[in-house]
Each structure stands twice: as structure tokens, then as C-alpha cells.
Structure 1
Amino acid sequence: MMNLLKCLCCVLLDLLAVRGRVLPHSRIVGGYPAAPNSIKYIVSLQSTSGQHFCGGSLVHRAEQIMIVAGDYRVNYFEGTEQYAKPNRLVTHPLYNRSTNNADIMLIKLRAPMVLNKYVSLAPLPRQGTGLFEGHVCRVSGWGYNSLGGGQVPVTLRTVAVPIVSTARCNSSDSFDGNITANMICAGYRTGGKDACKGDSGGPLVCAGRVYGVVSWGNGCGDARFPGVYTAVSRFRRWIDQTIYGSFLRCSRQ
């Protein structure tokens, strides 16, 4: 049972769901290995056997999943890792599996992560804050790093991608109207650099804040189809209400 008397961290990540328009394997494509422990807010979601399957971000201090912070090489113990079990999973009430709209979830941990030189928080944008086309952001994850799949890299990788306007992303040459106001597109006109389903939940960081969460796409690194991310600023109010609502309930018990 959930113990609301603890002060817990929350992890922002996307809903783990089957998306027919996404390649069965996902990866950071066209990027490079991040410097060790340079992306301190990213976490690895792993099965109880230690297999990485999704990413996430620590966004607020505070059964078959383990959240691992401070990780750099998954499946290798480096002494910098912190482990926590989930206590509560909160799916956004408007999530639509068919359209991937409102593709976001919060996880409350059973115990807090300790902030140190390997683990830190990621600031969030204000409610409704937008981004201009061409603004360069950074996405990170432990997914595959080639279009053909192959071995999953154990080292955290990262790549810079520019924001694509909703109008261009929604054009008949691209997603043809399937991009909602709750989504952000990012990628190059020439393709080749992207994140896909395997990096699901990973952070798209712009100007030091988590503006996006890896959500879905069509292929990977395709010039016609940029990566699609959940627009975090559209859900800031819900995130705050969910987090602080739990703390208020805690204080009343």
C-alpha cells in the first residue's frame, strides 16, 4: 500500500503503450555518447531483471519496474546508481492510445532519490510556454543508435535536434494533421538525427528545461517525419496539482 507520509520524488515519463506508427525498436540516431554523468536528471526504467526499456526525468524532489538514477552505462554497476521502486503511477486522464494525445504519466517513488553530483532535477517550463521553430534542443536515451537496430548501446547517448513548427509537421507531406496542440515536433529537414520508441520517456531539453517527452514517430530519422514529443508545458498545471495534491493528502493524515 502507498505510504503518503514519505516525501517522494516524481518521475516524468511517457505512457508505455503500443504505438503502431513507431518502429519496433527505438534509439538515439545520429548522436554521440554523452559525457559520463553529464545528464544528471535522466533515469532508466528497468525490469526487475535489470533490462532497460524506457527513460524518464526527475522533475520534482520529493510491480515490475525499477527506477535507476545516476546511471551512465546500463547493465554495468558503476557505484553512482540509485534505485527506487514505484509507489503510484498516474496516467493523464485524457491520454488517447489511438492518437497518442496527452501521452504522459507521473510515477511517485517509494523513497526519495538523493541529489548529488550524479543525480539532479530537471526544471520544467511554465504552463503554456511555447518554442520557436529552429530552436535547438537536446534529447537523450539508451536506445539503439542505428536505423537497422543491432545491439543496444549500454552508454547514454544524446543528440541535438531543432524544433519543427506544428504547421510543417502537420502538412500533407508529413503527419497530415495528426499532431495535436499537446505535441512538439523536432528534427532536421535532412533527417538522420532522432529519438524513437525505445527512448520513450526520455527528456527533450530546451534552454535547460524539459519541454518535451519522447512519445512517437514514423520510422526513425526520416527526413519527412520529425520525432514527436509530448509538450510538457501543456501539462505543467496537471503535474503541479498531481504532485502537490499528494503532499496535501499526506499532511492531512
Structure 2
Amino acid sequence: MLIGSCWVLILLAGSSNAIYNGVEAKFDFWTFIASVSVNGYLECGGTVIDSRIILTAAQCVKDKPVKKITVRVGTPDIYRGGKVIKVTAMVVHDKYEEWNNDIALLWLEKPALSERVTTIPLASREPYENEYPSNAGWGEKLLESYVSPRKLQNGVTKIRPRTLCADELIETIGNELLCVFYGENDICPGDYGGPLILANKLVGIAVQGHGCGFAILPSLYTNVFHYLTWIEENSKELKKNK
């Protein structure tokens, strides 16, 4: 995607700070996004991929009681609007460890779809280096500030070589992860689990910023294309058993 066209995806509105140095999102583009809460407090973002299935990061829900997890959809406001739906089952990747295999599925008590809530297709290919996807979330404005913006924020970022992330993190980055950063945009706690979008498809799940606000350093996203089979098989199991 050319940088000129990426601004069409961002759909800018007023300025704000989180996603770090992001802007207030125009919600008409982000009707597939969800906020994931535990005990009534924002934990992460998520993506509606089926009427009753939310895709998020394993770190957001692993070892959390299912009955304490809810999802809000259909609104850019983290406190109001849309609808709040209970989670009744979930699947966390059985080999999740730190950033590796950081992926999970949530099964909702009732269907989420409406005029204000849509699904988004999953990636049909891995994004290429130097493409410009968009991200969004309600993450902290500054690291450990514990203050989230009320309205959804989004930004633009860039796919980088995995070797760049490996050099910065002093460890190998495999095909299960995407290495991403661009300009002054970064993901922060609260944004994790949220979507990375390219050409109107879900290509990544936010799993690790570089300290929140160190935007010249890389962030990591779970590579959705790498997990298509896992997502399909476990979605079928959730539907079959519920």
C-alpha cells in the first residue's frame, strides 16, 4: 500500500495521545473493533471475526476467570454506547509464552452483529515489508499512566524486516510475529489484543509495544496469516460445543 492511500484507512479526526500520538478514530471504519474488560476494567482490544467470536491476544485473558470477562462492541466510547456482552468460553493457544503464540478466541454469550458491529476478513497473505497498516485502541496515553482515552484512537505504522526486531530485542523473531513501527506512532498497554488492518483485512494482533512512546523502536504483532488454520479449527470447536 502506498503511503498516500494509507491515510484513507486512518480516517483522521481530532488529535490526541493514544494509541501513542494517534488520533481520534472515525468509527465508521472500525465497526469490527471491541474492547475487552476483566472485572469491569479495560484489559485489551479485540476484533469481531464472527457473530459470536472475538480474536484477541492470549496475554489479555490467560488465567482470567471467563465469568469476569466482558466485551463492548458498537461504540468508539469506552464507557458508553454499543452493547456489553459476557464471554462464556475461550480458547488460549496451548503453546503461548510471552510474545510467542500470543492469540486467543473469546466466545460471546449472544451474537454481536448489528448495524454498528461488523466482522472483518482475516488476512489472505502476510503483509509485505514497507506496507503501511493501521492500528487502533484505547490504550494508556503514557506508560504506567493508567489513564485511557475515552474515545477510540488510531494511527498508521509500517511493516519492517524481522531482523530489525531481532537486533533490537536480542532474540529471534519468527514467522508468528510481525515487526512494526513508523514515525511517532506506538502501541501502549490497553492497545494489546487490538487489530492491525491492511487493505480492509486483519493482518495482526497487537502484543508488545516498545515501552509505550518509544515510537522509533519496533513493536510486535501476532501474524494473523500464520495462524489461519488455528483460528479456523478452534472457531469450529467453539461453535460445535456451545
TM-score band w.r.t. shorter chain: 0.7 to 0.9
2:204 equivalent in structure 1: 212
1:44 counterpart letter in structure 2: S
Task: Give yes or no for the alignment of 1:199 onto 2:203.
Answer: no
The superposition leaves residues 97-140 of structure 1 with CA deviations (integer Å, 9 ceiling, x where unpaired) of 3xx20000111111111331x111011013xx222111000110
Q: Say whether the 8 Å CA contact 1:125–1:209 is kept in structure 2.
A: yes
Query: Is the Cα–Cα contact under 8 Å of residues 218 and 225 in structure 1 kept in the other structure?
Result: yes
CA distance in 1, matches of 2:210, 2:24: 24
In structure 2, what is the equivalent of residue 59 of structure 1?
49
Q: Deviations over 1:198-234 (max 9, x none)?
A: 2110100111111110101331242552110011111
Q: Tell me if structure 1 keeps the 8 A contact 2:181–2:216.
A: no
Structure 1 counterpart of 2:24, from 29, 33, 39: 33
Q: Secondary structure at the match of 1:230?
A: strand
Residue matched to 2:35: 44
The match for 2:147 among 140, 144, 151 is 151
Q: Against the structure 1 CA distance between its residues 93 and 121, is the aligned structure 2 distance closer, same or farther, given a 3 Å change threshold?
A: same
1:216-231 alignment runs, 5 A limit: 216-223=208-215, 225-231=217-223
1:47–1:53 Cα contact (<8 Å) kept: yes
Amino acid at match of 1:53: E
**2:234 paired with 1:242:** yes
1:176 Cα deviation after fit: 2.2
Q: What 5-or-longer segments of structure 1 have no aligned partner?
A: 1-25
Q: In the alignment, what sits opposite 1:113?
A: 112
Is structure 2 residue 158 aligned with structure 1 residue 162? Answer: yes
Rg (Cα) greater in structure: 1
Instruction: Report SS of the residue matched to 1:144.
Output: coil
Structure 1 vs Structure 2 CA RMSD:
2.1
Q: Which residue of 2 aligns with 1:123?
A: 121
Q: CA deviation at 1:89?
A: 1.3
After TM superposition, the score normalised by the length of structure 1 is: 0.77
Select which of 71, 76, 80 maps to 1:72: 76
Match of 2:180 among 168, 186, 189: 186
Distance 1:111 1:166 in 2: 39
Q: How many residues align?
A: 212
Q: Deviations over 1:61-100 (max 9, x none)?
A: 242111110121112x33xx12211111101122113xx2
C-alpha distance in 1, partners of 2:149/2:162?
A: 32
The CA distance in 2 between the partners of 1:161 and 1:55, in whole Å, is: 17
Q: Deviations over 1:135-156 (max 9, x none)?
A: 0001100012346837321010
Any gaps of 5 or more consecutive residues in structure 2? 1-16, 53-66
Match of 1:83 in 2: 84
SS at 2:95 equivalent: coil
Counterpart position of 1:8: none
> 1:96 matched to which residue of 2?
97
